[in-house]
Amino acid sequence: MDAAIQQKIDIWLNGNYDQATKDEIKRLQTDNPDELTDAFYQNLEFGTGGMRGLMGVGTNRMNKYTIGTATQGFANYLKHLYGSIEIRVAIAHDSRNNSRFFAETTANVFAANGIKVFLFDALRPTPELSFAVRTLQCQGGVVCTASHNPKEYNGYKAYGNDGGQLVPPHDKNVVNEVNAIKTVDDIKWSGGEENITIIGSDMDAQYIKMVKTLSVYPDVIAKQHDLKIVYTPIHGSGIMLVPQVLKTFGFTNVNIVIEQATPDGNFPTVNYPNPEEQETMSMAVKKAKEIDADILLGTDPDADRVGIGIKNHKGDWVLMNGNQTAVLGFTYLIEARKAKGIAQPNDMVVKTIVTSDMIDEIAKDNGVACYNVLTGFKWIAELIKEKEGKENYVIGGEESFGMMVGDKVRDKDAVSAVAFLCEMAAYEKEKGVALYDKLIDLYIKYGFYLEHLISITKKGMRGQEEIAEMMQGYRNNPPKVINGSAVVELLDYQLQVGKNLQTGETHDITLPKSNVLQFILADGTKISARPSGTEPKIKFYFGVCTKLESKEKYDETHAMLEARIKGVIDDLKLK
């Protein structure tokens, strides 16, 4: 075993750690040394979604000690940043195993450092935590969740005073403070319990009241109040607020998937609690078929992701991908604000660089500014802060099933998105338009954009090395031709340089550094490669586009675009 790894293990075996932790390390030494190596070879760090990992013993796992270390480092940084003023933080958690314990551990450490803590009385959606940070004028916040990851994972999302997740330099500064803690004896575990205030229903009421203000057409909902809605919280925190928000909006026919309604960190009815997954949403689809629903929706365990299902042009139930949901959502809000006469000349929308370029075209056609930021809602929140007082933020979204309407929350908000998307369905139904037909009409008007995502998992220490090697290979030796089409441009967000591969001309990329590569092909295909910031994966995003002449040509054109994406995947040998 590597000497540095062994040294970390020895510290845990000989240090001030509980006996159960030491016993588990000894068991792994005998029974599973490879797992022990993986548990200690690195420290969990803040990525695009904070700190996230498998639960268990070790520096590379989510446990009491890594949570405590992260919180002590965060506390030290907040005290350094804000000096002698009263520092306040809000803390929430989802339905995952150990989430309540991790949240209480976090609260105790902050409180022991003299920080005023507002701890939710039970599980709550992530967006409510962001809202609470802003409402209570906190300097920071934490939600204990691993979002949509499998049940073995948990995580720790850290927030700044704007209610958005930490961005540079704050995220790296917190990491530096965490790394400066050399022993668990440096962590203040207890002694400030009087600094903890429990919050709950009052904050729920304020959040629900805020979400109600996002409704553009309450009069349409009044007419379509019996819209048949199917909703599943997938055993997560959405059950705490989504039904109440839908009721407040005025919807009276909400059908909850009972088998998935109870919060449960084992997620007993699914393999992967992610509304992106067909299998995960299968119970909701079954329910929608049974009652002939108008729309179905699902939220992940911390209710920041939303997935929707609608009937396609053939009458079959299909699940929208995140790009399709974003296209429909952005278009509805832009068009509805115009029709209602509340659109502003300085309205802006925000998306990420791997989200459908169709949104740029829709915004441009409607005279609305559209900004592209790096992956992760923290960058959307950062842009809102930058543009505050100058431009009017309307909606933001990303292909990974994230949407954020209005600026009162600064993280993706599936709770408000569910209500907003149901209002969209009611609005189109009132006009006699099916949502899928609306999507096809948009394809005819703006071009048929089709996107696809592949995630390749590479676990463990060697896995990280393989991902790094793949990115370096693409960076140093970019392919010249992919699927018969020349690669005309390489965008390297790490080097912050875009290069025309045919002329050699370069231009600067003004976004912050990020390990992302994008290849633009002569036929308009866009390919993005990006290591995940929260999982041991490298993600490849594919976007293709062509003209759609008519509704009758939809299936034929769709098949052609799918074949083009398949050709790209085959050529890159990414199966």
Residues 387-419 pLDDT 10s: 999 999 999 999 999 999 999 999 999 999 999
CB 335 within 8 Å of CB 500: no
Band the pLDDT of 172: cuts 50, 70, 90.
Answer: confident
pLDDT digits (tens, 9 = 90+) for 343-383: 999 999 999 999 999 999 999 999 999 999 999 999 999 99
Q: What mean pLDDT comes out for the span 162-190?
A: 92
pLDDT for 168 equals 87
pLDDT for 458 equals 86
- Exactly one of 147, 215, 356, 532 is catalytic; which is it? 147
Residue 429, both tokens: 């139904």
**How many angstroms separate the CA atoms of 133 and 161, rounded?**
7
Strand order in the sheet with 402-405: 369-373, 347-352, 392-398, 402-405
Q: What mean pLDDT comes out for the span 466-488?
A: 94
25, pLDDT greater than 60: yes
Q: What mean pLDDT comes out for the span 4-20?
A: 96
**How many angstroms separate the CA atoms of 96 and 266, rounded?**
7
Q: Where are the beta strands (DSSP E) in 342-428?
A: 347-352, 369-373, 392-398, 402-405
pLDDT for 463 equals 83
pLDDT digits (tens, 9 = 90+) for 492-549: 999 999 999 989 999 999 999 999 999 999 999 999 999 987 677 899 999 999 999 9
214, pLDDT greater than 70: yes
pLDDT for 534 equals 67
Burial of 508 (0-12, 13-18, 19+ CB in 10 A): exposed
Band the pLDDT of 459: cuts 50, 70, 90.
Answer: confident
Residue 476, both tokens: 């140093």
**How many angstroms separate the CA atoms of 158 and 448, rounded?**
38
Q: Compute CA 263 distance to the chain's CA centroid, rounded to the nearest angstrom.
A: 20
pLDDT for 341 equals 96
CA atoms within 13 A on the CB side of 70: 32
pLDDT for 120 equals 98
Band the pLDDT of 465: cuts 50, 70, 90.
Answer: confident
Where in the chain are the domains?
1-41, 46-205, 224-446, 448-571
Q: Compute CA 330 distance to the chain's CA centroid, rounded to the nearest angstrom.
A: 17
- Beta strands 485-492 and 497-500 are antiparallel
pLDDT for 75 equals 97
pLDDT digits (tens, 9 = 90+) for 106-162: 999 999 999 999 999 999 999 999 999 999 999 999 999 999 999 999 999 999 999
Task: State in words which class domain 224-446 has.
Answer: alpha beta
Q: Does residue 147 carry a catalytic annotation?
A: yes
Band the pLDDT of 182: cuts 50, 70, 90.
Answer: confident
Strand order in the sheet with 295-299: 254-256, 229-232, 295-299, 306-311, 317-319
Band the pLDDT of 464: cuts 50, 70, 90.
Answer: confident
Band the pLDDT of 47: cuts 50, 70, 90.
Answer: low
Q: What mean pLDDT comes out for the span 55-74?
A: 96
Fold of 448-571: TATA-Binding Protein (3.30.310)
Whether 46-205 and 224-446 share one fold: the answer is yes
Task: State in words which class domain 46-205 has.
Answer: alpha beta
**How many angstroms separate the CA atoms of 376 and 83, rounded?**
29
